[in-house]
Structure 1
Amino acid sequence: MNGSWLLRGRDGSLSTYASRDEAVWCRAEHQPGLPWTPPRKVGGDQRLHPQLGLGQGADGYAHLVAWRPTAPGESGLVHSTHFRPHLSALDWTPIGHPDKKGDRTGLPAVAVDAEGRAHVFTRNKAGGVSMLAQKEHGGWGPWRDIGGPGAHEELAAVAGGSGRVELYATTSDGILRWRQEEPGGALVPDEALEVAVRPGTLTALPTSKEHTTLFFADPEGMLHAWRPGGDPLPLLRTAGAGPVAALRCAVDGYDCTLLAQRSDSGRVVLAACPTEQESAGLWWSESGPQLPVGTRVALAEDAEGRVTAASLTPDGELGVARQKDEPGLALAAWQSV
């Protein structure tokens, strides 16, 4: 899965998305703070491969992209929009293949710009990156090869604080970055970072109108933060495998960045620091029960502005913990929903 799978919709309701059993499943609060719906399929009954990209715009709409089989040994990408968490999403719509036809080429990534247009990215057959973007008045533009030879499969796409789309990819030589120079414009290569990085550990978070902070792990397991124009800053050792979940939130009136991950011990761990002031120091704090290998962790703010952490096991069991109504960042007991 690429992108945060825990989202707050336009009406304030939280929703979760998971790829399982050849479909994408959604659960959502009936209304903010009310019980959750049972899992239901997104986009109809099309058979899907277990790879999902998610993005959300400032309008609260969720955009989902997945691969579906089209012929023996071939696949194509499909897109769906979910306007309200407790309502049905649009049916899956074919959006093609970066090489016109062929099998799956990489895990899709999605970012939504300030105008609500989805941008889809995936690796192509040549080993670079291709993108597809929605047009201003509906429909999709053509697939474009934006370069990046040697890109690894997992990409990190995000709309920065200005609403312009950015993309990050890892290679054997470091990290590549693309950005929009103007709203709705093509993505162009930007500053690259020569660094040893563990593939599949990128998390991009807008941390101000000017900056996106990229979190990544090196091969030795040290977590770093990088803002283009500066040097990467080592933070603390990762607690487990895969990327961290990241959230910019307010804690006691202070602008903070919160990180979360499933640790190798099986529990969720969290760390926080003032936003863009990682040098102040971070340390992991454990929370919740033991969770099986493969459990994903996500962060969001609910309709009341409370930090909400969620865990999703490989068999679809959802756990949720919300910030206590007291100073600080303590979470209440985890609940199975």
Structure 2
Amino acid sequence: MNGEWLIRGRDGRLSVYQMSHDAALCRAEQVPGGSWGAPRRIGGDQRLHPGPAVGQGADAYAHLVAWRPTASGESGLVHCTHFRPLLAALDWEPVGHPNGTGDRTGPPAVAVDGHGRAHVFVRNGGGGLSMRAQKQKGGWGPWRDLKSAQLQDAPVAVAGRDGRIEAYAYRPGRLIHWLQEEQATEFRMADSVQTEIRPGTLRALATSDENTTLFFTDASGTLCAWRPGAEPVPLATAAGPGPVAAVRCELDGHDCTLLAQRSSSGRIAFAAYPSEEEEAGAWWTESGPALPADATVSLALDADARVVAATLSPSTGQLLLARRKDEAGLALGAWEAV
């Protein structure tokens, strides 16, 4: 999934989203902090391609976007809203194709503004970035070409604390940033920075009321943090090959950014530092068992604002969870199979 797939719903229950064959599934806690139910298919019987995106608004509603096959050699994007983990999600609704028709152009991203409107981002057939947003009173606005060219990999999108959407993408040698000046206004290409990155390592997070931060691994294997308007800041050597999971949390009374990544050893590595104070440095600490190569990690805060980490392996279907203990530091309890 593109984005954090472990989320806390409006009712405090944690849920995870995953793919199984051609369907999107949801698993959720029966009560906050309690046992988990079985996976349930969401959005109806629509067949999906792998690689959906997940986003969540300030109202805690989950929004999913995926490609679906429409005709031989063609696909279209669809969107689904899930209001609460134990409720049935809405059926998949068509969002269309950035070029009108054609096959998949790249993995989508989705973010939700302060008014609860989903914004879908995807690379278009010309190699630039396209966006389509929900209208306030229902339906979807037109596809908008946000320009650029030769974009590689999946874009990432995030809502800032003030509800404005920001998006990031990579083309050879350069990271690019788009933003809105105000909610429900046009996007503009705001900044870019020269760098080389490893494919598949972008992750964005709102790290303060004013800023979002993009995390990525550069070509040398260094995990970096970038806030537009400045140069990327190296944090640490990347623990492993994939993207980091990221969450803003309070640790021992300090506003921190917590990162997690499947390490080269197969275990999950964690690193925390004071939010937006990258100069303080970050150091990895590994936890849990060695996991399959396709395992991914996601982070969230539970109903008690405790950090929860989840790992999911598509090849085995195994879901593991660990929660922060009620003690100083970032001490996690035992990893448990769900």
Per the normalisation by structure 1, the TM-score is: 0.99
What's the counterpart of residue 170 of structure 2? 170
- The alignment-based identity, stated in percent, is 61
The 5 A counterparts of 1:29-44 are 29-44=29-44
Q: What CA distance in whole angstroms lies between the structure 1 residues aligned with 2:148 and 2:333?
A: 44
Question: Match of 2:247?
Answer: 247
Q: Does residue 336 of structure 2 align to residue 335 of structure 1? A: yes
Matched with 1:284 is 284
Partner of 1:322: 323
* 1:108 maps onto 2:122 in alignment: no
**Pairwise CA RMSD:** 0.8
Where do residues 1-337 of structure 1 align in structure 2 (5 Å cutoff)?
1-314=1-314, 315-337=316-338
How far the C-alpha of 1:153 sits from its partner, in A, is 2.6
1:279 is paired with a residue of what secondary structure? helix
Q: Secondary structure at the match of 1:190?
A: strand
Corresponding residue SS for 1:321: strand
Q: Residues 251-298 of structure 1: CA distance to partner in whole angstroms, max 9, x if unpaired?
A: 111101100001110100000001111111111101011100010100
Distance (Å, rounded) in 2 between the aligned partners of 1:217 and 1:200: 9
| CA distance in 2 between partners of 1:238 and 1:168 (Å) | 20
TM-score for the superposition, normalised by structure 2: 0.98
Match of 2:113, as an amino acid? D
Gaps of 5+ in 1: none
Aligned counterparts of 2:40 and 2:26: Cα–Cα separation in 1: 5
Further displaced range: 259-268 or 225-234: 225-234
For 1:236 and 1:188, locate their aligned partners in 2 and report how far apart those are by CA, in whole Å.
31
Distance in 1 (CA, whole Å) between partners of 2:137 and 2:87 is 24
Q: Number of matched residues?
A: 337
Tell me by how many angstroms 1:173 deviates.
Answer: 2.0
Deviation at 1:155, TM superposition (A): 0.7
Q: 3-state DSSP class of the match of 1:191? A: strand
Q: Distance in 1 between matches of 2:277 and 2:62?
A: 30
Instruction: Please tell me the residue identity of whatever aligns with 2:12.
Output: G
Separation of aligned partners in 2, 1:316 and 1:137: 39
Q: Which runs of 4+ in 1 moved over 6 A?
A: none
Q: What SS does structure 1 have at the residue aligned with 2:191?
A: coil
Q: How far apart are residue 124 of structure 1 and its match? A: 0.6
Larger deviation, residues 299-308 vs 310-319: 310-319
